[in-house]
Amino acid sequence: RLVRRGVRRRPGGVARRGSRPPRLVAPPPARDRFGPRDLLAEAAHGIGARPGRLLLTIVGTVLGIGSLVVTTGLAQTAAGQISRQFDAVAATRVVVEPASARTASGERTIGRIPWDVEDRLGRIAGVELVGALGPVDTGDLEVTAQPVNDPSAQAFAPPAVVAATPGLLAAIDGRVTTGRWFDAGHDARADRVVVLGSRAAQRLGVLRVDRQPAIFIGERPYAVIGVVDGVQRRSDLLDAVFLPVGTARADFRVSGLDQAHVRIAVGAGPVIAEQAPYALEPNTPESVSVQVPPPPPSVQKDVQADVNAIFLALGAVALLVGALGIANVTLLSVRERLGEIGLRRALGARTRDIVAQFLTESGVIGLLGGLVGASLGVMVVVGVSVAKEWTPILDTGAVIAAAALGVVIGLLAGAYPAFRAARIEPIAALRGTAH
Protein backbone atom coordinates (compact mmCIF):
# COMPACT_ATOMS: atom_id res chain seq x y z
CA ARG A 1 0.00 0.00 0.00
CA LEU A 2 1.11 3.55 -0.69
CA VAL A 3 1.57 5.78 2.32
CA ARG A 4 0.76 9.46 2.61
CA ARG A 5 3.35 11.95 1.40
CA GLY A 6 5.61 13.14 4.15
CA VAL A 7 5.14 10.12 6.53
CA ARG A 8 8.06 7.73 7.22
CA ARG A 9 7.21 4.21 8.46
CA ARG A 10 9.03 3.08 11.66
CA PRO A 11 10.34 -0.46 12.17
CA GLY A 12 7.36 -1.26 14.37
CA GLY A 13 4.96 -0.42 11.60
CA VAL A 14 4.40 3.21 12.61
CA ALA A 15 5.09 5.78 9.94
CA ARG A 16 7.34 8.70 10.77
CA ARG A 17 6.63 12.20 9.49
CA GLY A 18 9.08 13.78 6.99
CA SER A 19 9.92 10.57 5.18
CA ARG A 20 9.66 10.17 1.34
CA PRO A 21 7.64 7.36 -0.23
CA PRO A 22 9.72 4.56 -1.68
CA ARG A 23 10.19 4.54 -5.47
CA LEU A 24 8.47 1.62 -7.14
CA VAL A 25 10.64 1.87 -10.30
CA ALA A 26 14.17 3.22 -10.36
CA PRO A 27 14.71 6.16 -12.78
CA PRO A 28 16.56 5.23 -15.98
CA PRO A 29 20.21 6.26 -16.23
CA ALA A 30 20.95 9.43 -18.16
CA ARG A 31 22.64 7.46 -20.93
CA ASP A 32 19.47 5.42 -21.55
CA ARG A 33 17.23 8.46 -22.13
CA PHE A 34 16.06 9.48 -25.63
CA GLY A 35 18.35 12.43 -26.35
CA PRO A 36 18.86 14.79 -29.30
CA ARG A 37 21.40 12.44 -30.87
CA ASP A 38 18.91 9.57 -30.82
CA LEU A 39 16.21 11.88 -32.17
CA LEU A 40 18.34 12.89 -35.16
CA ALA A 41 19.35 9.28 -35.79
CA GLU A 42 15.73 8.12 -35.80
CA ALA A 43 14.71 11.01 -38.05
CA ALA A 44 17.55 10.28 -40.49
CA HIS A 45 16.58 6.61 -40.60
CA GLY A 46 12.92 7.43 -41.21
CA ILE A 47 13.74 9.88 -43.98
CA GLY A 48 16.38 7.75 -45.70
CA ALA A 49 14.30 4.59 -45.70
CA ARG A 50 12.53 5.69 -48.90
CA PRO A 51 14.82 8.00 -50.95
CA GLY A 52 12.48 8.04 -53.96
CA ARG A 53 9.62 9.35 -51.85
CA LEU A 54 11.99 11.89 -50.26
CA LEU A 55 12.91 13.31 -53.67
CA LEU A 56 9.30 13.64 -54.71
CA THR A 57 8.44 15.25 -51.37
CA ILE A 58 11.03 18.01 -51.53
CA VAL A 59 10.27 18.98 -55.16
CA GLY A 60 7.59 21.47 -54.11
CA THR A 61 9.81 23.02 -51.46
CA VAL A 62 12.73 23.21 -53.89
CA LEU A 63 10.60 25.01 -56.45
CA GLY A 64 9.18 27.41 -53.88
CA ILE A 65 12.49 28.33 -52.26
CA GLY A 66 14.20 28.50 -55.65
CA SER A 67 11.50 30.88 -56.90
CA LEU A 68 12.01 33.14 -53.90
CA VAL A 69 15.78 33.28 -54.39
CA VAL A 70 15.41 33.87 -58.13
CA THR A 71 12.85 36.58 -57.39
CA THR A 72 15.02 38.54 -55.02
CA GLY A 73 18.19 37.99 -57.04
CA LEU A 74 16.80 38.88 -60.45
CA ALA A 75 14.80 41.78 -59.04
CA GLN A 76 17.91 43.30 -57.46
CA THR A 77 20.04 42.58 -60.53
CA ALA A 78 17.45 43.93 -62.97
CA ALA A 79 16.84 46.97 -60.79
CA GLY A 80 20.54 47.71 -60.84
CA GLN A 81 20.66 47.44 -64.63
CA ILE A 82 17.52 49.53 -65.06
CA SER A 83 18.87 52.13 -62.69
CA ARG A 84 22.10 52.27 -64.70
CA GLN A 85 20.23 52.66 -67.98
CA PHE A 86 17.90 55.16 -66.40
CA ASP A 87 20.86 57.25 -65.30
CA ALA A 88 22.32 57.08 -68.82
CA VAL A 89 19.13 57.91 -70.75
CA ALA A 90 15.97 58.69 -68.83
CA ALA A 91 17.61 60.65 -66.03
CA THR A 92 19.10 63.06 -68.57
CA ARG A 93 15.86 63.94 -70.36
CA VAL A 94 13.99 67.20 -69.84
CA VAL A 95 11.10 68.42 -71.98
CA VAL A 96 10.05 72.08 -71.91
CA GLU A 97 6.65 73.08 -73.27
CA PRO A 98 4.35 76.10 -73.04
CA ALA A 99 1.94 75.79 -70.15
CA SER A 100 -1.77 75.40 -70.83
CA ALA A 101 -4.80 76.68 -68.96
CA ARG A 102 -8.34 75.40 -68.90
CA THR A 103 -10.93 77.86 -70.15
CA ALA A 104 -14.62 77.74 -70.96
CA SER A 105 -13.84 76.77 -74.54
CA GLY A 106 -11.25 74.18 -73.54
CA GLU A 107 -7.54 74.17 -72.88
CA ARG A 108 -5.36 76.77 -74.53
CA THR A 109 -1.64 77.50 -74.50
CA ILE A 110 -0.63 80.47 -72.36
CA GLY A 111 3.15 80.45 -72.90
CA ARG A 112 5.65 80.19 -75.70
CA ILE A 113 9.11 78.86 -76.47
CA PRO A 114 11.35 81.72 -77.66
CA TRP A 115 13.40 81.44 -80.86
CA ASP A 116 16.68 81.69 -78.95
CA VAL A 117 15.77 78.83 -76.61
CA GLU A 118 19.12 77.12 -77.21
CA ASP A 119 21.07 80.13 -75.99
CA ARG A 120 18.84 80.75 -73.00
CA LEU A 121 18.75 77.20 -71.68
CA GLY A 122 22.38 76.55 -72.59
CA ARG A 123 23.50 79.01 -69.90
CA ILE A 124 22.00 76.94 -67.07
CA ALA A 125 24.44 74.77 -65.14
CA GLY A 126 23.91 71.09 -65.90
CA VAL A 127 22.52 71.60 -69.42
CA GLU A 128 24.52 69.74 -72.03
CA LEU A 129 22.43 69.90 -75.24
CA VAL A 130 19.32 71.85 -76.26
CA GLY A 131 17.09 71.59 -79.30
CA ALA A 132 13.58 72.75 -80.13
CA LEU A 133 10.93 72.11 -82.74
CA GLY A 134 7.53 73.30 -83.82
CA PRO A 135 4.90 72.26 -86.37
CA VAL A 136 4.76 73.89 -89.79
CA ASP A 137 1.33 74.52 -91.24
CA THR A 138 1.68 73.95 -94.99
CA GLY A 139 -2.02 74.31 -95.66
CA ASP A 140 -3.10 72.42 -98.75
CA LEU A 141 0.42 72.15 -100.13
CA GLU A 142 1.61 68.64 -100.86
CA VAL A 143 5.03 67.25 -100.03
CA THR A 144 6.29 65.30 -103.03
CA ALA A 145 9.48 64.22 -104.69
CA GLN A 146 8.44 65.52 -108.15
CA PRO A 147 7.10 68.92 -109.18
CA VAL A 148 4.15 67.59 -111.19
CA ASN A 149 1.18 65.56 -110.12
CA ASP A 150 1.28 62.00 -111.40
CA PRO A 151 -2.21 60.42 -111.34
CA SER A 152 -0.67 56.95 -111.62
CA ALA A 153 1.54 57.45 -108.59
CA GLN A 154 0.58 55.64 -105.41
CA ALA A 155 -1.20 57.95 -102.96
CA PHE A 156 0.03 58.13 -99.38
CA ALA A 157 -0.39 60.41 -96.43
CA PRO A 158 1.97 63.38 -96.73
CA PRO A 159 4.75 63.54 -94.14
CA ALA A 160 4.58 66.17 -91.44
CA VAL A 161 6.76 69.24 -91.81
CA VAL A 162 8.60 70.34 -88.69
CA ALA A 163 10.68 73.42 -87.97
CA ALA A 164 13.78 72.45 -85.98
CA THR A 165 16.72 74.24 -84.41
CA PRO A 166 20.30 73.17 -85.22
CA GLY A 167 20.73 71.42 -81.87
CA LEU A 168 17.61 69.25 -82.04
CA LEU A 169 19.16 66.13 -83.57
CA ALA A 170 21.79 65.76 -80.86
CA ALA A 171 19.28 66.59 -78.10
CA ILE A 172 16.93 63.77 -79.14
CA ASP A 173 19.72 61.22 -79.69
CA GLY A 174 19.29 61.01 -83.46
CA ARG A 175 21.96 60.04 -85.95
CA VAL A 176 22.58 60.93 -89.57
CA THR A 177 22.58 57.87 -91.83
CA THR A 178 23.51 59.79 -94.96
CA GLY A 179 24.38 63.42 -95.66
CA ARG A 180 24.35 65.90 -92.79
CA TRP A 181 22.12 67.91 -90.45
CA PHE A 182 21.65 71.62 -91.12
CA ASP A 183 23.60 74.12 -89.02
CA ALA A 184 23.21 77.66 -87.72
CA GLY A 185 24.28 79.06 -91.09
CA HIS A 186 21.39 77.41 -92.90
CA ASP A 187 19.09 78.74 -90.20
CA ALA A 188 20.39 82.32 -90.35
CA ARG A 189 20.26 82.47 -94.15
CA ALA A 190 16.87 80.74 -94.36
CA ASP A 191 18.28 78.29 -96.90
CA ARG A 192 15.76 76.05 -98.60
CA VAL A 193 17.20 72.79 -97.37
CA VAL A 194 15.53 69.89 -95.58
CA VAL A 195 16.51 66.77 -93.67
CA LEU A 196 14.25 63.72 -93.90
CA GLY A 197 13.36 61.13 -91.33
CA SER A 198 14.22 57.62 -92.48
CA ARG A 199 10.61 56.52 -92.97
CA ALA A 200 9.69 59.76 -94.75
CA ALA A 201 12.70 59.31 -97.04
CA GLN A 202 11.56 55.81 -97.99
CA ARG A 203 8.06 57.01 -98.83
CA LEU A 204 9.44 59.89 -100.91
CA GLY A 205 11.96 57.62 -102.65
CA VAL A 206 15.02 59.54 -101.43
CA LEU A 207 17.63 57.01 -100.33
CA ARG A 208 20.86 58.93 -101.00
CA VAL A 209 21.88 62.58 -101.12
CA ASP A 210 25.07 62.52 -103.20
CA ARG A 211 23.00 63.16 -106.35
CA GLN A 212 21.54 66.32 -104.79
CA PRO A 213 17.90 65.23 -104.68
CA ALA A 214 15.13 67.66 -103.89
CA ILE A 215 11.57 67.50 -102.62
CA PHE A 216 8.76 69.93 -103.25
CA ILE A 217 6.45 71.54 -100.74
CA GLY A 218 3.84 72.81 -103.11
CA GLU A 219 5.90 74.19 -105.98
CA ARG A 220 8.92 75.25 -103.91
CA PRO A 221 11.94 72.99 -104.21
CA TYR A 222 14.00 72.14 -101.13
CA ALA A 223 17.36 70.41 -101.38
CA VAL A 224 17.65 67.23 -99.30
CA ILE A 225 20.95 67.39 -97.44
CA GLY A 226 20.53 64.44 -95.09
CA VAL A 227 18.51 61.49 -93.76
CA VAL A 228 18.29 60.74 -90.04
CA ASP A 229 17.41 57.64 -88.04
CA GLY A 230 17.69 56.28 -84.51
CA VAL A 231 15.67 59.03 -82.83
CA GLN A 232 15.19 57.47 -79.42
CA ARG A 233 13.26 60.23 -77.72
CA ARG A 234 10.82 61.07 -80.53
CA SER A 235 10.49 58.10 -82.85
CA ASP A 236 7.47 59.73 -84.53
CA LEU A 237 9.88 62.24 -86.08
CA LEU A 238 11.17 59.54 -88.43
CA ASP A 239 8.09 60.28 -90.54
CA ALA A 240 8.77 64.03 -90.67
CA VAL A 241 10.48 66.54 -92.94
CA PHE A 242 12.77 68.91 -91.02
CA LEU A 243 13.15 72.55 -92.02
CA PRO A 244 15.52 75.06 -90.41
CA VAL A 245 13.58 77.46 -88.17
CA GLY A 246 14.72 80.44 -90.25
CA THR A 247 13.44 78.82 -93.44
CA ALA A 248 10.10 77.90 -91.83
CA ARG A 249 9.65 81.48 -90.59
CA ALA A 250 10.45 82.96 -93.99
CA ASP A 251 8.42 80.57 -96.17
CA PHE A 252 5.52 79.57 -93.92
CA ARG A 253 5.38 82.31 -91.28
CA VAL A 254 5.80 79.90 -88.37
CA SER A 255 4.76 81.77 -85.23
CA GLY A 256 6.62 79.82 -82.59
CA LEU A 257 8.08 76.60 -81.24
CA ASP A 258 6.04 74.23 -79.13
CA GLN A 259 8.61 71.94 -77.53
CA ALA A 260 12.23 71.99 -76.40
CA HIS A 261 14.32 68.91 -75.62
CA VAL A 262 17.19 69.23 -73.19
CA ARG A 263 19.91 66.76 -72.29
CA ILE A 264 21.18 67.38 -68.79
CA ALA A 265 23.78 65.95 -66.46
CA VAL A 266 22.57 63.24 -64.08
CA GLY A 267 21.13 64.82 -60.97
CA ALA A 268 20.61 68.27 -62.50
CA GLY A 269 16.86 67.82 -62.89
CA PRO A 270 15.79 69.89 -59.84
CA VAL A 271 18.02 72.80 -60.89
CA ILE A 272 16.66 72.77 -64.45
CA ALA A 273 13.08 72.59 -63.22
CA GLU A 274 13.61 75.66 -61.07
CA GLN A 275 15.65 77.84 -63.43
CA ALA A 276 14.35 76.97 -66.92
CA PRO A 277 11.02 78.86 -66.58
CA TYR A 278 12.82 82.05 -65.53
CA ALA A 279 15.36 81.67 -68.33
CA LEU A 280 12.62 81.43 -70.98
CA GLU A 281 9.92 83.70 -69.51
CA PRO A 282 11.37 85.90 -66.74
CA ASN A 283 8.14 87.86 -66.27
CA THR A 284 5.72 84.92 -66.36
CA PRO A 285 7.66 81.75 -65.41
CA GLU A 286 4.40 79.94 -64.69
CA SER A 287 3.62 79.98 -68.42
CA VAL A 288 6.36 77.41 -69.06
CA SER A 289 6.02 73.73 -68.15
CA VAL A 290 9.20 71.76 -67.41
CA GLN A 291 9.05 67.96 -67.26
CA VAL A 292 12.03 66.59 -65.35
CA PRO A 293 12.72 62.89 -64.73
CA PRO A 294 11.71 61.36 -61.38
CA PRO A 295 14.51 60.38 -58.98
CA PRO A 296 16.17 57.10 -60.01
CA PRO A 297 15.57 55.40 -56.60
CA SER A 298 11.80 55.74 -56.99
CA VAL A 299 11.88 54.21 -60.47
CA GLN A 300 14.14 51.42 -59.25
CA LYS A 301 11.81 50.63 -56.35
CA ASP A 302 8.75 50.63 -58.59
CA VAL A 303 10.34 48.22 -61.06
CA GLN A 304 11.65 45.98 -58.30
CA ALA A 305 8.22 45.92 -56.65
CA ASP A 306 6.55 44.88 -59.91
CA VAL A 307 9.06 42.08 -60.51
CA ASN A 308 8.78 40.90 -56.91
CA ALA A 309 4.99 40.80 -57.06
CA ILE A 310 5.03 38.45 -60.04
CA PHE A 311 7.68 36.03 -58.84
CA LEU A 312 6.65 36.03 -55.19
CA ALA A 313 3.17 34.91 -56.20
CA LEU A 314 4.70 31.98 -58.10
CA GLY A 315 6.97 31.19 -55.17
CA ALA A 316 4.07 31.24 -52.70
CA VAL A 317 2.10 28.77 -54.83
CA ALA A 318 5.10 26.46 -55.09
CA LEU A 319 5.68 26.66 -51.33
CA LEU A 320 2.05 25.79 -50.67
CA VAL A 321 2.38 22.74 -52.90
CA GLY A 322 5.59 21.78 -51.09
CA ALA A 323 3.95 22.13 -47.66
CA LEU A 324 1.01 19.97 -48.70
CA GLY A 325 3.42 17.36 -50.04
CA ILE A 326 5.34 17.23 -46.75
CA ALA A 327 2.11 16.99 -44.76
CA ASN A 328 0.77 14.15 -46.90
CA VAL A 329 4.00 12.18 -46.78
CA THR A 330 4.28 12.62 -43.01
CA LEU A 331 0.70 11.41 -42.53
CA LEU A 332 1.43 8.41 -44.72
CA SER A 333 4.57 7.71 -42.71
CA VAL A 334 2.55 7.79 -39.49
CA ARG A 335 0.10 5.20 -40.84
CA GLU A 336 2.89 2.96 -42.08
CA ARG A 337 4.75 3.08 -38.77
CA LEU A 338 1.90 2.38 -36.35
CA GLY A 339 3.69 -0.67 -35.01
CA GLU A 340 6.85 1.30 -34.35
CA ILE A 341 4.88 4.05 -32.60
CA GLY A 342 3.01 1.54 -30.43
CA LEU A 343 6.22 -0.31 -29.47
CA ARG A 344 7.96 2.93 -28.53
CA ARG A 345 4.99 4.07 -26.45
CA ALA A 346 4.85 0.67 -24.73
CA LEU A 347 8.54 0.92 -23.86
CA GLY A 348 8.06 4.30 -22.20
CA ALA A 349 8.35 6.89 -24.97
CA ARG A 350 6.53 10.05 -23.97
CA THR A 351 4.09 12.02 -26.10
CA ARG A 352 6.61 14.77 -26.67
CA ASP A 353 9.16 12.21 -27.87
CA ILE A 354 6.80 11.08 -30.65
CA VAL A 355 5.98 14.68 -31.55
CA ALA A 356 9.65 15.62 -31.60
CA GLN A 357 10.55 12.68 -33.85
CA PHE A 358 8.02 13.48 -36.59
CA LEU A 359 8.59 17.23 -36.36
CA THR A 360 12.31 16.62 -36.77
CA GLU A 361 11.71 14.45 -39.83
CA SER A 362 9.48 17.07 -41.49
CA GLY A 363 11.90 19.85 -40.51
CA VAL A 364 14.84 17.98 -42.04
CA ILE A 365 12.85 17.41 -45.25
CA GLY A 366 12.07 21.15 -45.36
CA LEU A 367 15.74 21.99 -44.72
CA LEU A 368 16.87 19.75 -47.57
CA GLY A 369 14.34 21.38 -49.89
CA GLY A 370 15.41 24.84 -48.73
CA LEU A 371 19.12 24.19 -49.26
CA VAL A 372 18.62 22.63 -52.71
CA GLY A 373 16.16 25.33 -53.75
CA ALA A 374 18.40 28.17 -52.57
CA SER A 375 21.37 26.65 -54.41
CA LEU A 376 19.40 26.27 -57.64
CA GLY A 377 18.08 29.82 -57.29
CA VAL A 378 21.59 31.22 -56.95
CA MET A 379 22.71 29.24 -60.00
CA VAL A 380 19.76 30.58 -62.05
CA VAL A 381 20.50 34.19 -61.08
CA VAL A 382 24.18 33.82 -61.94
CA GLY A 383 23.37 32.04 -65.21
CA VAL A 384 20.89 34.70 -66.35
CA SER A 385 23.32 37.46 -65.40
CA VAL A 386 26.15 35.83 -67.37
CA ALA A 387 23.89 35.35 -70.39
CA LYS A 388 22.74 38.97 -70.30
CA GLU A 389 26.21 40.30 -69.40
CA TRP A 390 24.85 41.77 -66.18
CA THR A 391 26.46 42.02 -62.78
CA PRO A 392 24.64 39.55 -60.49
CA ILE A 393 23.40 41.09 -57.25
CA LEU A 394 22.43 38.69 -54.46
CA ASP A 395 21.68 39.44 -50.84
CA THR A 396 23.39 36.75 -48.76
CA GLY A 397 20.95 37.29 -45.93
CA ALA A 398 18.01 36.72 -48.26
CA VAL A 399 19.51 33.44 -49.52
CA ILE A 400 20.08 32.19 -45.96
CA ALA A 401 16.60 33.29 -44.93
CA ALA A 402 15.10 31.44 -47.91
CA ALA A 403 16.89 28.23 -46.89
CA ALA A 404 15.69 28.69 -43.29
CA LEU A 405 12.18 29.21 -44.59
CA GLY A 406 12.27 25.63 -45.82
CA VAL A 407 12.67 24.47 -42.20
CA VAL A 408 9.71 26.60 -41.13
CA ILE A 409 7.57 25.19 -43.94
CA GLY A 410 8.56 21.66 -42.95
CA LEU A 411 7.74 22.20 -39.28
CA LEU A 412 4.38 23.78 -40.05
CA ALA A 413 3.49 21.02 -42.48
CA GLY A 414 4.50 18.28 -40.06
CA ALA A 415 2.80 19.71 -36.98
CA TYR A 416 -0.61 18.07 -37.52
CA PRO A 417 0.75 14.58 -38.41
CA ALA A 418 3.16 14.72 -35.45
CA PHE A 419 0.47 15.55 -32.88
CA ARG A 420 -1.85 13.00 -34.43
CA ALA A 421 0.84 10.33 -34.04
CA ALA A 422 1.38 11.34 -30.41
CA ARG A 423 -2.31 10.79 -29.58
CA ILE A 424 -2.26 7.15 -30.73
CA GLU A 425 -2.72 4.71 -27.85
CA PRO A 426 0.00 2.02 -27.58
CA ILE A 427 -2.40 -0.94 -27.66
CA ALA A 428 -4.27 0.46 -30.66
CA ALA A 429 -1.01 1.06 -32.47
CA LEU A 430 0.22 -2.51 -31.78
CA ARG A 431 -3.07 -3.96 -32.99
CA GLY A 432 -3.00 -1.74 -36.08
CA THR A 433 -6.48 -0.31 -35.36
CA ALA A 434 -5.41 3.32 -34.86
CA HIS A 435 -6.81 5.96 -37.22
Tell me the torsion sign for CA atoms 115, 119, 120, 125.
positive
Q: How many CA atoms lie within 13 A of 173 on its CB side?
A: 14
Asked if 323 and 405 count as a contact pair (C-beta separation under 8 A), the reply is: no
Residue 394 has pLDDT above 70, yes or no: yes
Residue 31 has pLDDT above 60, yes or no: no
Calpha distance 424→240 (Å, rounded): 83
- The answer for 249, left when phi > 0, alpha when psi is -120 to 50, beta otherwise, is alpha
Provide the 3-class DSSP secondary structure of residue 290.
Answer: strand
> Tens digit of pLDDT for each residue in 132-158?
999 999 988 888 887 655 556 555 677
In the chain, where the domains are located:
36-85+298-431, 89-149+157-291
Nearest-5° Cα angle at 302, 301 to 307: 95
> Tens digit of pLDDT for each residue in 238-280?
999 999 999 999 999 998 899 999 998 877 888 888 999 999 9
> Tens digit of pLDDT for each residue in 320-331?
777 777 777 777
Provide the 3-class DSSP secondary structure of residue 166.
Answer: coil
